[in-house]
Amino acid sequence: MADLRAALGPDRARAEPLELALYQRDAGVDRGQAAAVCFPGTVDQLAAAVGIAAWHDRPFVARGSGTGLAGGATPVGDPLVIVTTGLNRIVEVDADERVAWVEPGVLNLDLSRAVHHLGLHYAPDPSSQQACTIGGNVATNAGGPHCLAAGVTAAHVLAVEVVLADGSVAMLGGLEPDAPGYDLRGCFVGSEGTMGVSGRIAVRLTPNPPAVRTLLLDFSTIEAAAATVSGIIAAGIVPAALEMMDAEITRAVEDFVGAGYPRDAAAVLLVELDGLPAGVEAQVEAVRRVGHEHGARTVRVAADDAERALLWKGRKSAFGAIARIAPDYYLHDAVVPRTKLVDVLRQVYAIAAEYDLTMMNVFHAGDGNLHPLIVFDQRTPGVWERVHAAGDAILRACVDAGGVLSGEHGIGLEKRDAMPLVFTPDDLDAQARLRDAFDPSGRANPEKILPSGSRCGELQRVPAGAWI
């Protein structure tokens, strides 16, 4: 503590019990305990903090906004928690090259807003985009509704300045399109803080589309909605976003935003199309047709930006809004082949019924990324066991259908022990060795991602284009 206070300033390091209690968890369910927490205000201070942890041979965990859903920022092994929210400057924007250098604590939506007047935005838009940091996005390789067409975070990060576990600083990647040598930047993206802490990050900015249309389709069966998804893709349309919500979640969301989501629908699809005005109009008609063919009850096209914003606000509040039903939730993040979607969904609902749990689904239908949510109240005796058992059963069902564990939220602590479901011991070993190359000491966010026994890895196994 004394070293931290000396290096960062007295207010930038704390260890009071109540203060530490606030850093026990992220938005997931697992809790840990930190030894101390610090708030660097510059990248130099960030490096100093990591260096001090190295000097005292203490683990450290980077934390952005703590919106992670997999326990990635949960402190394990009495670590120093390093909070990046004070590193929130947009360092430089090059509108011609469409590149921005940002500090890791810049909020995703703040960046898009700051470059809006240049006709640009930062494309990956996790539903938590108003709150999560770019550093956290890079660490979890975050995706979002608009990553269907635009690609996940990895496709938008050009270079990362990384503070390695010993406190030294390395620059991975670069602005030139095809840098020679190994793509270490690619390794780092998605490493969930296990390979070091990112300092300044160079991200690609994307031009705002000239025309955007958002459609809301509503169905009386989930199957019809899923068939429409396949139909849209089969018609050769690549929507900017294609999202599905089931009945329960639609009602919960509508209670919050009042956007006119139909309360009696079995499922709704939110489809966004963008491009040149004429092309977009043609696609709107095509989606409308496909929807009606598959039994959509209504197809609503948002009339203006305000209505669009309200519809998206609903979708992006989905996770938060479920607390209207029960105070705790357990969220999965699995990707299954789109063709198996209906099948897996049926199984998932059956599993919930079997364990007597309330289950809801909200997901990126476009690429088969499911988010089955089990909602419950921790205070109910015995509920945890049922939730965990149902969770395992769901993961198994997804993997059996040829899916993967994590579309976008990462593995963290929560899904760590499920890694052997999809990876062979050799795979895990290779990942552990990759991580060791970055952090031989094993102090960077220990016990995350890889189950004990295999040690540490990276997440490039996630299929391209997958996010939550």
Ligand X SMILES: Cc1cc2nc3c(=O)[nH]c(=O)nc-3n(C[C@H](O)[C@H](O)[C@H](O)COP(=O)(O)OP(=O)(O)OC[C@H]3O[C@@H](n4cnc5c(N)ncnc54)[C@H](O)[C@@H]3O)c2cc1C
CB of 323 to ligand SF4, least distance (A): 6
**C-beta neighbour count of 310 within 10 angstroms:** 16
**Residue 452 amino acid letter:** S
Q: Which is nearer to ligand X, 64 or 275 (CB)?
A: 64
Classify the C-alpha dihedral 48-52-57-63 as positive or negative: negative
Q: What's the rounded Cα separation, in Å, for the pair 451 and 435?
A: 13
Structure tokens at 243: 């999202």
Q: 275 - beta bridge partners?
A: 211
CB of 153 to ligand X, least distance (A): 8
Q: Which is nearer to another protein, 230 or 317 (CB)?
A: 317
Rg (the chain; Cα; Å): 22
Contacted by 349, from another protein, ligand X, ligand SF4, none: CB < 5 to 8 Å by type: none
Q: Which is nearer to ligand SF4, 320 or 463 (CB)?
A: 320
Q: Which is nearer to ligand X, 40 or 291 (CB)?
A: 40
Q: Which residues in this chain contact ligand X in the complex, by CB under 6 A?
A: 26-27, 61-69, 72-73, 84, 104, 126-128, 132-133, 135-137, 139-140, 142-144, 192-193, 197-198, 319-320, 408-409, 445, 467-468
Contacted by 243, from ligand X, another protein, ligand SF4, none: CB < 5 to 8 Å by type: none
Q: Which is nearer to ligand SF4, 63 or 185 (CB)?
A: 63
**C-beta neighbour count of 95 within 10 angstroms:** 13
Contacted by 256, from ligand X, another protein, ligand SF4, none: CB < 5 to 8 Å by type: another protein
Q: Which is nearer to ligand X, 185 or 294 (CB)?
A: 185
**C-beta neighbour count of 89 within 10 angstroms:** 15
Contacted by 379, from another protein, ligand X, ligand SF4, none: CB < 5 to 8 Å by type: another protein
Q: Which is nearer to another protein, 21 or 350 (CB)?
A: 21
CB of 131 to ligand SF4, least distance (A): 8
Contacted by 446, from ligand X, another protein, ligand SF4, none: CB < 5 to 8 Å by type: none
Helices 222-234 and 341-354 meet at what angle, rounded to 10?
Answer: 160
Nearest 10 degrees: Cα torsion 205, 209, 210, 213:
-150
Contacted by 73, from another protein, ligand SF4, ligand X, none: CB < 5 to 8 Å by type: ligand X
CB of 267 to ligand SF4, least distance (A): 25
Q: What's the rounded Cα separation, in Å, for the pair 279 and 355?
A: 48
Site of tokens 């705790």: 328
Contacted by 467, from ligand SF4, ligand X, another protein, none: CB < 5 to 8 Å by type: ligand X
Contacted by 198, from another protein, ligand SF4, ligand X, none: CB < 5 to 8 Å by type: ligand X
- Residue nearest ligand SF4, Cβ-based: 320
CB of 461 to ligand X, least distance (A): 16
Roughly how many angstroms between the first and final C-alpha of the chain, as a whole number?
38
CB of 61 to ligand X, least distance (A): 5
Helices (H), 13-42: 17-21
Q: What's the rounded Cα separation, in Å, for the pair 32 and 281?
A: 51
Instruction: Write the interaction track for ligand SF4 spanning residues 269-308; mark x where CB under 6 A is met and - where it is not.
Output: ----------------------------------------
Q: What's the rounded Cα separation, in Å, for the pair 289 and 277?
A: 19
Helix (H, G, I), strand (E, B) or coil at 19: helix
Q: Which is nearer to ligand X, 32 or 135 (CB)?
A: 135
Contact 184, 136 (CB under 8 A): no
Contact 405, 459 (CB under 8 A): no
Q: Which is nearer to another protein, 293 or 377 (CB)?
A: 377
Binding residues for ligand SF4, total number by CB under 6 A: 2
Among 320, 420, 451, 463, binds ligand SF4 (CB under 6 A): 320
Structure tokens at 348: 């998932």
CB of 214 to ligand SF4, least distance (A): 24
Query: Nearest to residue 153, comparing CAs of 193, 195, 202, 194?
Result: 202
What is the b/e burial string over 369-396, where b = at least 16 CB atoms within 10 angstroms of the residue's CB? Answer: bbbbbbbbeeeeeebeebbeebbebbbe
Contacted by 324, from ligand SF4, ligand X, another protein, none: CB < 5 to 8 Å by type: another protein
CB of 411 to ligand X, least distance (A): 9
Contact 194, 440 (CB under 8 A): no
Residue 73, CB half-sphere, CA atoms under 13 Å: how many?
Answer: 29
Residues that bind ligand SF4 (CB under 6 A): 320, 323
